[in-house]
Amino acid sequence: MPVTVLDDVAVVDVVAGRTVAHRQVVVDGDRIADVRPAGAATEPGARTPDVRGRTVLPGLIDAHVHVKAWHADLGIVPRRPASYTALKAAGLLEAMLQRGFTTVRDAGGADAGLAAAVADGTIPGPRLFFCGHAISQTGGHGDAREAGDDRHAGGGDGLSRIADGVDAVRQAARDELRRGAHFIKVMVSGGISSPTDRLGSLQYSRDELAAFVEEANNAGRYVTGHAYTAASVTRAARAGFRCVEHANLIDAATARLMAEKEMFLVGTLATYEALATRGADAGMPADQLAKLQRVRDAGLRSIELASAAGVRLVYGTDLLGAMHDAQLTEFTLRAQVQPTAELLRAATVDAAALLDQPDLGRIERGAHADLLLLDADPLTDITVLTRPGVHLQAVVQGGRTVVGSLDPASR
């Protein structure tokens, strides 16, 4: 693959929160070889597409997706053949790439097979990090059985598995790590899509939570928690969790505790808006939708509290079924309370830090060559990112153009 030189482009420096005009980005293989002033002498034989005046942004990262959640009623997913779900997941992954997401973190359901299929080019999609199955207690957020279902609690909802007691949670964590999990996800509070728990319920004992953390730490991984309430987030923080998902119902004191513990928060406002307007039509059961309004109303306030406390915020969406097409709405929702520069960091460099991938999410020498070529600056207008059909001209992933074209004649 020849060296590619993008000359006289504006580069969004997400770390500094500014856009630098008249730069030259040199891509060699799957890495950025240099970022230097425009007009610098190019390497012999280099490819030099005419991209003058365009804006270059790091590839986006969505840190809370469910690529196997092809239906909004998660109870349906495990009742279909695994081959069907894998094919549906492939379609969801390709659509994410088309929106500019070059890396995603799956928070329940994806596995080593899907990650390998993306990595070796069998299917197009974002680079995929995964936890395998999220782990739930009996009657917790990952237990898909209705109250009248007397089946043994041997499995979860297709995205989760069930384990109770310190020994069992150790075994479950070790098994997910054996299967290649990049992190462990634990259900620490109730949720919307679970049929028998309440949003405010506390799930898992302190000893069980500590066991999850010890097993992850022993393997050089980390634990994140599905948690909505201040009490559940506080328990996760004190147990040593590195991250929590959602956290819509936190208070200022909990936000300060998260900042003190240097935790990450993956907010997911997009899913609540999508569920509120489309959930019923998409097949989500009415009893689950009834839980929605409380967390939807509190979502923006939680982002505002966490941002004010200095919590490292990360972009996530948590969408289900046909509602995956709302993946970019997280930008406009958060923009109501979060500064644009901070929001761009949430979807790039801060998400990369959560993934322990310092070479992702930035445009600098040695970084992965994951780039978006845009005809406008998202730092000036974040809504640019929500209209990829209008503004996104090319997606470069690992040095390869995978969406659109760098050649103006081909756009």
Q: Report pLDDT for 153.
A: 59
Q: Report pLDDT for 150.
A: 63
- Exposed/middle/buried for residue 289 (C-beta within 10 Å: 0-12, 13-18, 19+): middle
List, for residues 364-386, the tens digit of each pLDDT value: 999 999 999 999 999 999 999 99
More confident residue, 324 or 143: 324
Q: Report pLDDT for 394.
A: 98
Same domain? For 31 and 77 the reply is no
Same domain? For 115 and 157 the reply is yes
Q: Respond yes or no: is residue 68 known to be catalytic.
A: no
Same domain? For 214 and 262 the reply is yes
- Which residue is catalytic, options 106, 143, 197, 318? 318
Q: Can you read off the two tokens belonging to residue 32?
A: 């950025």
List, for residues 215-251, the tens digit of each pLDDT value: 999 999 999 999 999 999 999 999 999 999 999 999 9
Query: Which of 115-119, 252-256, 273-277 is predicted with the least confidence, judged by mean pLDDT?
Result: 273-277
How far apart, in whole angstroms, are the C-alpha atoms of residue 318 and residue 266? 10
Q: Report pLDDT for 380.
A: 97
- Count of H-run helices and E-run strands, the chain: 13, 17
- Exposed/middle/buried for residue 31 (C-beta within 10 Å: 0-12, 13-18, 19+): middle
Same domain? For 12 and 78 the reply is no
- Mean pLDDT for the chain? 94
How far apart, in whole angstroms, are the C-alpha atoms of residue 162 and residue 168? 9
Rg for the chain (alpha carbons), in Å? 21
How far apart, in whole angstroms, are the C-alpha atoms of residue 225 and residue 316? 14
Q: Report pLDDT for 197.
A: 83
CATH of the domain at 306: 3.20.20.140
User: Can you name the residues that pair with 404 across neighbouring β-strands?
Assistant: 394
- 182 and 129 in contact (C-beta within 8 Å)? yes
127-139 average pLDDT score: 96
Same domain? For 160 and 98 the reply is yes
Same domain? For 327 and 283 the reply is yes
- Which residue is catalytic, options 62, 73, 106, 185? 185
Same domain? For 26 and 139 the reply is no
Q: Report pLDDT for 279.
A: 83
Q: Respond yes or no: is residue 291 known to be catalytic.
A: no
Q: Report pLDDT for 126.
A: 98
- 144 and 75 in contact (C-beta within 8 Å)? yes
List, for residues 162-178, the tens digit of each pLDDT value: 999 999 999 999 999 99
H/E segment holding residue 403: strand 400-404
* Confidence bin at 408 (pLDDT 50/70/90): confident
Neighbours of 261 (CB within 10 A): 14
Q: How large a percentage of the chain has pLDDT more than 90? A: 84
190-211 average pLDDT score: 90
Region for 29 from its dihedrals, namely left if φ exceeds 0, alpha if ψ lies in -120 to 50, beta otherwise: left
List, for residues 263-322, the tens digit of each pLDDT value: 999 999 999 999 999 988 877 777 777 778 889 989 999 999 999 999 999 999 999 999
Work out how many domains the chain is built from and give that number.
Answer: 2
Same domain? For 256 and 293 the reply is yes
How far apart, in whole angstroms, are the C-alpha atoms of residue 24 and residue 7? 4
CATH of the domain at 374: 2.30.40.10
Q: Can you read off the two tokens belonging to residue 362?
A: 């930035």
DSSP string, 153-208: S---SSSEEE--SHHHHHHHHHHHHHTT-SSEEEE-B--SS-SS--TT-B-S-HHH
118-139 average pLDDT score: 96
Same domain? For 94 and 42 the reply is no
Nearest one of 135, 96, 134, 88 to 114, comparing CA atoms: 88
DSSP-derived letter for residue 322 is: G
User: For 116-130, what is the HEC assignment?
Assistant: HHHHCCCCCCCEEEE
Same domain? For 249 and 373 the reply is no
Residue range(s) defining the domain that contains residue 28: 4-58+362-410
Same domain? For 81 and 36 the reply is no
Q: Report pLDDT for 282.
A: 79
- 271 and 330 in contact (C-beta within 8 Å)? no
List, for residues 43-91, the tens digit of each pLDDT value: 899 999 999 999 999 999 999 999 999 998 888 898 899 999 999 999 9
Nearest one of 330, 327, 328, 66 to 193, comparing CA atoms: 66
Q: Can you read off the two tokens belonging to residue 302?
A: 């939680």
